[in-house]
Structure 1
Amino acid sequence: MSDPVVDVPSDQSPESAAVVPKKYFFIFCLTTTLFALWGFANDFTNPLVKAFQQIFQISTRESSWVQMAFYGGYASMAIPAALVIRKFGYKFGIIVGLALYAIGALLTIPASMQMQFSIFLVGFYVLTFGLAFLETTANPFILSMGPPETATRRLNLAQAFNPIGSLTGMLIASQFVLPQLGINDFAEKEKAAHPEYEQMLPSEVGGLINEAFSEFAETEKDEFQEMQAKDLRIVRIPYVTVAVILIALLLVFAFSKFPQADVEHDQIELGQLVGELTTMRYLGGVVAQAFYVGAQIMCWTYIIHYGMTLHGMSIDTAQKWNIAAMIIFLCSRFICTFLLQYLNAGVLLGILAIGGLLLTLGTIYIESIVGMYCLVGISACMSLMFPTIYGLALDGINPEDAKLASAGLIFAIVGGAVMPFLQADIIDKGTVELFGSTLESVRASFFLPAICFVVIAIYGFASSRPRTA
C-alpha cells in the first residue's frame, strides 16, 4: 500500500525511515494523549444509554438519543473544524477542541441538578464539538509527523492508545457508576421477593423487574425522585473530573512549541482538491468509516442489553463483558499494527471484516453464553478498522488538503448516531420474524452490524489495489 503523502523527507537516512522521528517525539506523545481522551468520552458514555433509560424511565429508542446527540456533534462540527484548522493550524484546533470538550462535560452539572435529560443531551452535543476538533486535528497531524511510508503505522500506533482511554471509561462506569445506581438495589429486592424468577427466562425476569420499577416510579414519586437525583449526581462526577484534566492539558498545549511543519497555506487549489476527494478510494473510505463506527457503537452500546435481556445479568455485570471486549480490542490493535509490516493494509482490513461478520452471526444465532463470547470477540476484528480506513482513504492526498479531507472521515462518525438509533427501534419490538424464524429482538438487531462488516470487507479488498489503478 502507498501511504498518505505527508511531510516527505528529502533523504533516505535512518531518521527519515523511523515511524516517529526524534524531532516529533515529544509532540507525538502529547498528541497521543488526545486519542485516549476521546476514547474515554466515547466508552464512558455508551453504557449510560441503558442507565439513562432506567433513571428517566424512557424507552430504548428515547435513550438512544444519547448516541444521536453524542455522535451527531461530530457531523455538525467536522467540516467547520477542518476549515478552522486549515486556517489557524493544528495547535489552535487542539486548544479549541479541549475547551469545547470541557464545556460539554461541565454541562452535566446543571443537567444533574435540574434532573433534565435534555440538558444532558445538549452537554453531549457540545462535548462532541470538541471531539470533532480533536479528531479532525490529531489524525492528519499524526500522519504528518514523519515519512509517508510509515504514516499508516504511525497512526495505528497513536490509535492504539485510544482503547486505553476507552478501557478507563468502561472501568469507571462499571466500578464506580453503574453498581451505585438505584435500579440495581431495586432489582435485587425484587428477585429476593419473587423466588419463582429463578425458574423463568432472563428476558422474562428483566421485563417483570422493569414493569415493577415503572410502577414504583409512578406510585412512590418522592422516593423515586430522590433515587433519581442521587443517580445523576453519581453520573456527573467523572465528567467534572475529566473537565479539570482537560483544562490542565489545554494549558500544556498552549505553552508547548509545535514543530515547524505546522505551516498553513490559505490558498485552496479547488480543482486539485475536488479531484482528490472524488476518488472511489476516498469516497469509499468515508462510507466504510460510517459503517465501521456504526458497527462499533452498536456492538459496544447494546452488549449491555444483550447480557441483561438474554443472560439475566445486572447492568454492571454486563458492563464487565464490555470491558473484556475493550481489553481484546486493545491487545488486537497492537498485534494488528505489528502485522501491517507484513500484510497489505486493505487485505488485512477485509479479512478482519469477514471475521467480524462471522462472529456477529454467532452472536445472533448461538443461544448459549457462547453467543456472548462471539459478541465480545467482534472487538478483536474491529481494532484495526478506524485508523486503517482513515489511512487508506487519505492515501496520496496533499497534506494541506488532508486537513479538509479528514473532515469527511470525521463526519462519517455520524454512523454512530444513526445506526444505534435504528437498532434501538428493533430492540423495542420484543420479538422479530426473520428468514422464517422467530428471534428475540436483541438478537435480530445485530443484523445491522453484520451488514456493516460486509461493506467494510468490500472496501478493504477494493482498496488493497495500488492507488494508481
Structure 2
Amino acid sequence: MTSSTKAGGAQPSGTGANNYQFALVALTSLFFMWGFITCLNDILIPHLKNVFSLNYTQSMLIQLCFFGAYFIVSLPAGALVKRISYKWGIVVGLLIAALGCALFIPAASYRVYGLFLGALFVLAAGVTVLQVAANPYVTELGAPETAASRLTLTQAFNSLGTTIAPLFGAFLILSAATGDIATATGQQLETLRLEEADSVRFPYMILAIAFLVLSAIFAALKLPHIEEEEVSSEGGERASAWSYRHLILGAVGIFVYVGGEVSVGSFLVNYLHEPSIAGLPESEAAHYVSYFWGGAMVGRFIGAYAMRYIADGKALAFNALLAAILLLVTVFTGGKLAMWAVLAVGLFNSIMFPTIFSLALKGLGRHTSQGSGILCLAIVGGAIIPVIMGALADAFTIHMAFLMPVLCYIYIFYYGLKGHKVV
C-alpha cells in the first residue's frame, strides 16, 4: 500500500478503470471458491452423520468448527492484511485453505470425526483470511456509492459456487457408498462406513490442488494497491472501528444472517428427507439444495442491477421481511408448499451479506481493515446458531427448529430500516 487517497474513496496507485475491472474479475474466482467450499459442508453434514451415527447436535459441530474459525482468526487476519496488503493476504489465505483440504486425506484414512473437524477448522481459517482481504478490497475498487452493488455482483459468483457444490457433493460423496447404512449390520456396516469416509478424499484433493493453483496465480498478478483514507468521510475521525455504532450493529447483522442462512442450508437435506415434507432420498434431496443456493445467485445478479436505483437499506429490509414470511410458511405447513417455501428463502438471502457488509463499512476510512476483521469475526454466527437449531430439532422437531432463523431475519429487517445509519 504505497499511494495516498482522495477524499470520498480509496484510489489505486497509478491505475485506471481497466485495472479496477481486471482486479474485480480476478476476485470473482475467490468468491466462487469459498462459496463452493462453504456449501459443500451441507453435503458433508448428512454424510458424516451417517458415517459416525451422529445426532443433529453432534453433526452441527461441523459448522461450529468451520465458522468458529472466523471468530478466532478474523481479527488477526485483519491485522495481517493491513500489514502485508490485500493481495498478499489473499495468497496466504489460499495456501492455508489448500492445507485444510489436504488434511481431509489423513482424516478419511483414520476415520476419526475429530480429524475431520480439525481439517475443517484449518480450511475455514484460510477462507477467513480470504474474506477479510477480498470483501473490503471489492468495496474500495470503485466509487463508494456503488460499493454495495459491486460487492453484490461478486457475491453472485459466490452463489454460483454454492449452487454447483451440492451437485458435486451428491455425485462424488453421497453417491459413493454401494449400500444403505441404515439397514446394514455387522461387517457390512463397517465396510459401508469405511467406503463413505473414503469418499471425501478425492473431492478435497481436487480442491487442495485448485487452491494451490489460485495462490500461484494471485502471487503473480499485478493488482491495484489500495491505501485507506487517513480521515473518515462520515462521522469524523475516531479512535478505532469499535467506535462506530452502525458497524457494531452491522456485525450483529452478519452474525444472525450467516447463522440463519447456514442453519437453513445445513438442514435442507434432512428436512427434505422427512416423509411429511418430500420424503426424498438424501442423494436426491442434495440436488434440491442447489435450488436454494441458485436462488441466491439469481437474486444477487438482479440485486447488483436493482440496487443502483433502490436504497440499500430498503432493499435489505424488504428481503429480510419476505425471508421471514417464507420460513413461517415452512414451519406451519407441510408437503410441497413447505418444501418450496424454504427453498425460495435463498432468493431473498441473495443481497443480505454484501449489503450488510458494505453498509457497515461505510465511512470507516482508515479503520476499514479493522472493520472488515470485526465483520468477519461475526461470521461465527454460522457456528453458533446451527448448533442451537440442532438442539431444537433434537428436543422438538426439525420442523419447529426453523423458527430459529425467523428471529435472525427480523433483526436484519431492523438493520435495513434504521440500524445501518451512520451516527
TM-score, length of structure 1 as denominator length: 0.83
Number of the residue aligned with 2:321: 354
Number of the residue aligned with 1:458: 414
Matched residue SS, 1:302: helix
Query: Which residue of the other structure, out of 90, 114, 120, is the alignment partner of 1:118?
Result: 114
Number of the residue aligned with 1:337: 304
Residues 403-456 of structure 1: CA deviation (Å, up to 9, x unaligned): 110011101110000011011111123xx3xxxxxxxx0111001000001010
Q: Is the 8 A contact 1:70 1:128 kept in 2?
A: yes
Query: Which residue of the other structure, out of 293, 304, 323, is the alignment partner of 1:326?
Result: 293
Number of the residue aligned with 1:197: none
Number of the residue aligned with 2:223: 258
Q: Is 1:80 the equivalent of 2:46?
A: no
Q: For residues 89 and 226 of structure 2, what CA distance do their matches in structure 1 show? A: 15
Q: For residues 108 and 8 of structure 1, what CA distance do their matches in structure 2 show? A: 41
Q: Is 1:186 the equivalent of 2:180?
A: yes
Q: Is 1:394 the equivalent of 2:361?
A: yes
Q: Is 1:370 the equivalent of 2:337?
A: yes
Q: Is 1:6 the equivalent of 2:2?
A: no
Number of the residue aligned with 1:107: 103
Number of the residue aligned with 2:144: 148
Number of the residue aligned with 1:405: 371
Q: For residues 230 and 146 of structure 1, what CA distance do their matches in structure 2 show? A: 49
Q: Is the 8 A contact 1:24 1:259 kept in 2?
A: yes
Q: For residues 12 and 122 of structure 2, what CA distance do their matches in structure 1 show? A: 39
Letter in 2 for 1:164: L
Residues 366-392 of structure 1: CA deviation (Å, up to 9, x unaligned): 112100010001111100000000011
Letter in 1 for 2:251: V
Cα offset, 1:8, TM superposition = 5.5
Q: Is 1:442 the equivalent of 2:404?
A: no
Number of the residue aligned with 2:205: 240
Q: Is the 8 A contact 2:241 2:370 kept in 1?
A: no
- Equivalent pairs: percent with the same residue? 28
Cα offset, 1:31, TM superposition = 1.5
Matched residue SS, 1:261: coil
Distance 1:226 1:349, change over 3 A: same
TM-score, length of structure 2 as denominator length: 0.92
Cα offset, 1:393, TM superposition = 0.4
Letter in 1 for 2:338: G
Greater C-alpha Rg: 1
Distance 1:262 1:170, change over 3 A: farther
Number of the residue aligned with 1:437: none
Matched residue SS, 1:181: coil
With 400-409 and 106-115 compared, the bigger mean Cα shift is at 400-409
| Unaligned 5+ runs, structure 1 | 188-209, 266-270, 433-440
Cα offset, 1:149, TM superposition = 2.0
Equivalent runs, 1:281-320 vs 2, <5 Å: 281-309=246-274, 310=276, 311-320=278-287
Matched residue SS, 1:186: coil
Q: For residues 287 and 40 of structure 1, what CA distance do their matches in structure 2 show? A: 24
Number of the residue aligned with 2:387: 421
Cα offset, 1:5, TM superposition = 4.9
Cα offset, 1:9, TM superposition = 9.1
Q: For residues 402 and 263 of structure 1, what CA distance do their matches in structure 2 show? A: 7
Q: Report how many aligned residue pairs link the two structures.
A: 409
Distance 1:5 1:240, change over 3 A: farther
| Unaligned 5+ runs, structure 2 | 1-6, 231-235
Cα offset, 1:225, TM superposition = 2.4
Distance 1:7 1:264, change over 3 A: closer
Letter in 1 for 2:287: K
Distance 1:359 1:5, change over 3 A: farther
Q: Is the 8 A contact 2:11 2:141 kept in 1?
A: no
RMSD: 2.1
Q: For residues 43 and 279 of structure 2, what CA distance do their matches in structure 1 show? A: 17
Distance 1:245 1:276, change over 3 A: closer
Letter in 2 for 1:288: G
Q: For residues 8 and 96 of structure 1, what CA distance do their matches in structure 2 show? A: 24
Residues 247-266 of structure 1: CA deviation (Å, up to 9, x unaligned): 1111111111122435899x
Letter in 2 for 1:421: V
Q: For residues 91 and 348 of structure 1, what CA distance do their matches in structure 2 show? A: 31
Cα offset, 1:176, TM superposition = 2.5
Q: For residues 410 and 273 of structure 1, what CA distance do their matches in structure 2 show? A: 21
Distance 1:451 1:5, change over 3 A: farther
Q: Is the 8 A contact 1:89 1:263 kept in 2?
A: no
Q: For residues 312 and 369 of structure 2, what CA distance do their matches in structure 1 show? A: 22
Q: For residues 328 and 43 of structure 1, what CA distance do their matches in structure 2 show? A: 14
Letter in 1 for 2:250: G
Letter in 1 for 2:268: I
Letter in 2 for 1:422: I
Distance 1:302 1:458, change over 3 A: same
Q: Is the 8 A contact 1:136 1:406 kept in 2?
A: yes
Q: Is 1:69 the equivalent of 2:65?
A: yes
Q: Is the 8 A contact 1:89 1:264 kept in 2?
A: no
Q: Is 1:136 the equivalent of 2:132?
A: yes
Q: For residues 240 and 38 of structure 2, what CA distance do their matches in structure 1 show? A: 33
Letter in 1 for 2:109: M
Q: Is the 8 A contact 1:344 1:464 kept in 2?
A: no
Q: Is the 8 A contact 1:8 1:147 kept in 2?
A: no
Q: Is the 8 A contact 2:240 2:367 kept in 1?
A: no
Letter in 2 for 1:375: V
Matched residue SS, 1:46: helix
Matched residue SS, 2:9: coil
Q: Is 1:23 the equivalent of 2:19?
A: yes
Letter in 2 for 1:411: L
Q: For residues 22 and 177 of structure 1, what CA distance do their matches in structure 2 show? A: 41
